[in-house]
Amino acid sequence: VQIAPGAVVSSNVVIGSNCLIGANTVILSGVEIGNDTIIGPNCTLAYSIIGSNVKIHNGVRIGQDGFGFAQNENINLKMPQLGRVVIKDNVEIGSNCSIDRGTGPDTILGEGTKLDNLVQIGHNAVLGKNCIMVAQSGVSGSTHIGNNVIIGGQVGIAGHLKIGNNVRIAAKAGVMKDIEDGMTVGGVPSMPINDWHRQTIILKKLIKKRKNGK
């Protein structure tokens, strides 16, 4: 194991063989890290179990409180965040991603999943195996995403949804309802990709007619 200058490893941390901990990274008490895992500089890990052969790029935050509040007489009351983040083997997490710990159930990233830079994963969210999330996309709390899902850049996914296996979500889509296995969707709100293309073409024709005074 190599620990670069300025890194802080708290008590009760377990680090496997052949790991690299980057400069100024902070690993808080209770974190477990598997073998052959690389953690870049300036990362923060808390309340997490990290698998083997995981690559975490610079500036990643894992295990901070999720965004959970309850309103009571116009006061936002913070909900206790008691879960963990569980990251399976062979996951790669791009720079400046943020992965919240669970409220009670854990936040989970499945084996082989890859996150681009600036991805946000909310509390209790579950991503299956071999998923891909492109930059600036986000998943709200308690949404479950199946295996082999590809999520384009700047996609927003609402909370408490179920996204099936082998789903494709086009860039900038806004997902507000469940998606069945194998579907490809796009648009805001998201819809089957062919419907989105038809809608775009119809709107373009309507605008052209109006410009032409017809």
pLDDT, one tens digit per residue, over 155-202 is 999 999 999 999 999 999 999 999 999 999 999 999 999 999 998 899
Q: What is the average pLDDT across 66-71?
A: 89
What pLDDT does 208 receive?
A: 80
Check pLDDT > 80 for residue 211.
no
Q: Within a 10 A sphere around the Cβ of 87, how many other Cβ atoms?
A: 28
8 A C-beta contact, residue 136 and residue 115: no
Q: What is the average pLDDT across 66-86?
A: 91
Q: What is the average pLDDT across 116-137?
A: 98
pLDDT, one tens digit per residue, over 25-39 is 999 999 999 999 999
Q: Does residue 57 carry a catalytic annotation?
A: no
Which of these is catalytic: 57, 123, 144, 160? Answer: 123
Dihedral angle computed from the Cα positions of residues 74, 83, 41 and 89, in that order, rounded to the nearest 10 degrees: -140
Check pLDDT > 80 for residue 141.
yes
Q: How confident is the model at residue 70 (pLDDT cuts 50, 70, 90)?
A: confident
Check pLDDT > 80 for residue 214.
no
What pLDDT does 147 receive?
A: 98
Say which residue, 90 or 205, is predicted with more confidence: 90
